Structures are given as C-alpha cells and as structure tokens.
Amino acid sequence: MASLASCRPADGADDEDKLPVPHQSFVTRPDLAPPEVSITRHGDGASEHHVFLTPKFRTDTPVDGAVIVAADGQLVWMRAVDGDEPGNNLFDLRVQEYLGEPVLTMYEGTNERGRGNGEVLILDETYTEIARVTTGGSLPPGHADFHDTAITGDGTMLIAAYEPVPADLSSVGGPADAYAEDAVIQEIDIATGEVRFEWSALDHVPVAETMVDFQEKKAELEEEAEEAEKDEEFNELGTEEKPFDYFHINSVTEDGDGALLVSARHTNAVYKLDRDTGRVVWTLGGSASDFELGEGAEFTWQHDAQRSADGTLTLLDNHAHGADDDESSRGLRLALDESAMTAEVVTEYLPPEERIAGSQANAQELPGGNMLIGWGQKPFYSEYTRDGEILYDACHGDACRGEEFGGGGASYRAYTFEWEGRPAAPPDVVVQDDDERTAYVSWNGATEVAQWRLLAGEDESGATEAAVVDRESFETAIPVPEGALYVSVEALGVDGEVLGTATPDG
C-alpha cells in the first residue's frame, strides 16, 4: 500500500498501539487536521478529479469536518468542526449545479439515532454561503435530515425529514397506541423556501412492510437503558421520544421521467413515486416487491438508489444491518424491465476484500461509466470501471492501520467531481526561524495555484522577487533570504497571473 498523502509525526507517537489516526498537519493552518489518505492502485483509467468526504473522528487529530482532497489524497479544502458539539455535524458534501453554476452543498445540523435536524448549505466557488435550505410548510424549520440533498433543474431541492407521529404498530408486534417515525419528503424552492411538494411514507407504505423486528429493537433499547443505569421507559420503543423507525429514507432523487426514486433502508426497498399524486408507482425489493428479482439481484439495508442514463438502476447494497453481519457490502447495477417487471444484475462492484458496511455508503456513477463507491461506516472509497474492475482503493481512517483499530473516520458518502475553488479569504503564510528561515504558505480551497512567488527585502517598497517555486501540496515551504525584514508571498496561476497575496502577521 502506498501512502500518498503526507503527514507530520504526531505527539506521543512512540507507543504504536496509542497512535492517533495518521493525519495531515500544517504550519499555516494548525486548526486543520484531516486524515491521511492511503491509496492502493489496482489499474489505470481512474478519475483524476477531487474527492469529497465528511469523515467523523470526534478527536483532536484528525478533526471532524467537510474535506476536499486531490486525487493523490492531499488536502485541497477543509471546513473543520468540533464533532462533540451536537449541531456541528457536516454530511453529504458534494458539487451540484444551481442557477447554471457549480456549487458545493452540505448538511449542517444534528446527528442522533441515524437521523438529523438541520439545514443544507449552498456555497459558491469562493466558499461563500449563498443559501440555506430547510423544511417548511407542515414541518418546522430546521428539520431537514442529512441523508440526501438533491438540487433539481427547476431551482428546487429535494430533502427528507423524520417526524414522530401517532401510529398503530400492532401489525409488527407493537402497541396500537404508539408512535412511528414518519419519513417525509419535501421539494423546496431554494430562492423562496416555498414547499412545492410533500410526501409522507406513512400515507403510502404500510408499517407492516418494515424489515426491522420490533421486539428485537425494543429489547436492544431496553438493554441500552439498563447499561446506562436509566429506567427502561427512557428507551421504550414506540413512544414519542423513541418512535419506531419503520421506513428510514436515505435517498430521494429524480427519475428520468420526472418521477422520484426513494430508497428506504428499513423496508429493504426502492420506490418510484408519481410526482403529482405521491402514489407509489412500483416497489423494488423488500416484502412487497412488484419486481421478480433475478439471481444475485436481492439487496438489503441499501443506500443511494439512482437511475442511470441507460435506464439501469444503481445502489449500494449494504447487505448488513450491524457489525455482526457476515456478508460483504457491494455496489450494484440492475437492469429493470418495467414491462415484464423483472430486475437482473448487470454489474457488481465488490471490495478488494470482504468489507461489511453496516451503515451509510453510496454508489456514484461517473461521466464515462466508472463507479465510485463510498463505503460509509468503513473509512474507504474505491473507483471501478463500468464492468466492475477495481482501479484503486483508498482508506482515510483507523482501519488503514488494520481492522483491530476500529472504524473511526467513517464518511456518510464519498464523491468525486471536477471543482474550481477560488477562496474569498487570502492565502496564509507563516515564517519560521529554524536553522534557516522558511516561509510556509497555503490557501485553503484554492485549486488554480500553480506556483508561489516569494517577495523579500528591507521593507515593502524595496521587496523584490526572491524565489518562484512550484506548489507542492496543500502547504509549500520556501526558503527566506538571510537578512530579509519584509516578506510576502504571491499565488500564481498557470499563466503567471497573481491570484492572491499573503503577508505574515506581525
């Protein structure tokens, strides 16, 4: 395995068993400590675009946040957060198009029991926030969930929300007078916040279609309450405080004909919805499938159902609902015959070795047909040819050092996109007086910097060009001439144009 992203040794690194996860660190931005990315190459033809992650560690190093890395794993941009703060969770960082321009979108809010309450941020190429999207209409604001945030060509965003509502759970062995967690879809006009469309799972999909065993889940929560030395009622399943999550929506996207495709983890099914009426047109998978599934086509606990341009359907088949499951997760491409109502496997995207992602994960089809798999709970992402041949496998968490170190670093999804970032903030530069004076320079989020030019002299008016060096990675070191009292650094584009200037504090 070749470790292609540099990092400096961490303090206390003399005890191998107590090493923090390998991470990148920088003189200019000590607040940024993204994980090191280790990449194993298996073939040629992989995308060279940036990769977008939201790894979770809840440690000082690495830190949580939204991360863009280059194809070699080096940091490009990071928005760091304190993962212990309940409203600071970031999920689903990706590039989308809004008003004809590429933008970044990501969820910001809470993360509790596998669902969230928050908002979706939209950032332009300067990383400036230009909009926030959240729930409205029948739902209070701030209840957008983190599972999906899809912008449509009409300037709207499809979001999901989880809401506890009264429900009869007797069909699954629960009380008749109880609460279920309803899965709600809203289509929000980004500019106005108006709700254009709303759909409720409980109005269209019976609770009895769930694949979650109510009694097993109830016993699990009671055991958690006992271990926490709290009354069992604290975790009693089916109450308003602990509603039964029978559906668990985790993706909502547009189909080619304007309908919606919805993935529900807890029914093991994908649904096609009529955009006008909300009617379920068909169900794929689960206990009420309208399709006959061919050999190997059955999927369980899946994520991220998407329709491809050729009519096939892609998804991430977790095939696991917890750490004790023993079947490997996989990416999956299915051919759907909506006349004969059959589903057949076209391609499997298998990890290089068994990898059980008990939660999260996604499958992103790339231009040209390659597939990027984000392994969710397992801190890996992998790229494949359309035919399922693996091109590389990348790790960004504890498991890079072996499974015995755990799964810290999970990223809900992983994506790869073209992206041009031009930060509104200036570059950062720090001059250190070591054996020789060195200027360290970086520019968080800048993708167009080719070189750095060092200007040095007795004062600003007398400063002249002292060095021009190629940009090395996120941070570049430049020797400072002896006796220079004034230093500044210019970021240069490929044609030598000045993109930004940095001057050390003080």
Tell me the pLDDT tens digit for each residue of 136-178. 999 999 999 999 999 999 999 999 999 999 999 999 999 999 9
Could you tell me if 43 and 389 are in contact, meaning their C-beta atoms sit under 8 angstroms apart?
yes
Type of residue numbered 418:
E
pTM: 0.93
Place of tokens 């051919």: 335
**Per-residue pLDDT tens over the stretch 257-296:** 999 999 999 999 999 999 999 999 999 999 999 999 999 9
Contact status, residue 212 vs residue 245, Cβ threshold 8 Å: yes
CB neighbours of 106 closer than 8 A, spacing ≥ 6?
Answer: 54, 66, 90, 91, 92, 93, 94, 120, 121, 123, 149
The whole-number pLDDT of residue 434 equals 74
| Tokens coding 169 | 């759970």
Sign of CA dihedral 216, 219, 223, 224: positive
Taking only Cα atoms into account, the Rg of the chain, rounded to an integer number of angstroms, comes to 25
3-state secondary structure of 49: coil
* H or E element, residue 158: strand 156-167
Q: How many other CB atoms are found less than 10 A from the CB of residue 412?
A: 26
Please provide the distance, in angstroms rounded to a whole number, between the alpha carbons at the two ends of the chain: 43
Q: What is the pLDDT of residues 34-69, one digit of tens each?
A: 999 999 999 999 999 999 999 999 888 899 999 999
Cβ proximity of 286 and 269 under 8 Å: yes
The answer to whether residue 8 scores a pLDDT higher than 50 is no
252: nearest Cα among 369, 355, 120:
120
**Within 10 Å of residue 465's Cβ, how many Cβ atoms?**
11
Query: What does the pLDDT look like over 438-487, one tens digit per residue?
Result: 999 999 999 999 999 999 999 998 899 999 999 989 999 999 998 899 99
pLDDT of residue 116: 95
- Contact criterion met (CB below 8 Å) for 439 and 480: yes
Alpha-carbon span 439 to 427, nearest angstrom: 12
Q: With bands split at pLDDT 50, 70 and 90, how would you rate the model's confidence at 228? A: confident
pLDDT at residue 231, rounded to an integer: 65
The amino acid at 424 = A
pLDDT (tens digit, 9 = 90+) per residue, 84-115?
777 889 999 999 999 999 999 999 999 988 89
Query: Distances from the Cα of 194 to the Cαs of 138, 140, 275, 412, in angstroms?
Result: 11, 13, 17, 28
On whether the CB atoms of residues 298 and 344 are closer than 8 A, the answer is no
* Residue 202, CA distances (Å) to 167, 168, 169, 224, 234 in order: 9, 11, 12, 28, 25
Residue 15 has a pLDDT of 38
Q: What is the DSSP letter of 266?
A: G
The CB density around residue 192, as the number of other CB atoms within 10 Å, is: 11
Q: pLDDT per residue over 362-414, tens digit each?
A: 999 999 999 999 999 999 999 999 999 999 999 998 777 765 555 589 999 99
In b/e form, how buried is each residue of 238-255, taking b as 16+ CB within 10 angstroms? Answer: beeebbbbbbbbbbbbbb
**Residue-wise DSSP of 365-414:** EPTTS-EEEE-TTSSEEEEE-TTS-EEEEEE-SGGGG-GGG--TT-BS--
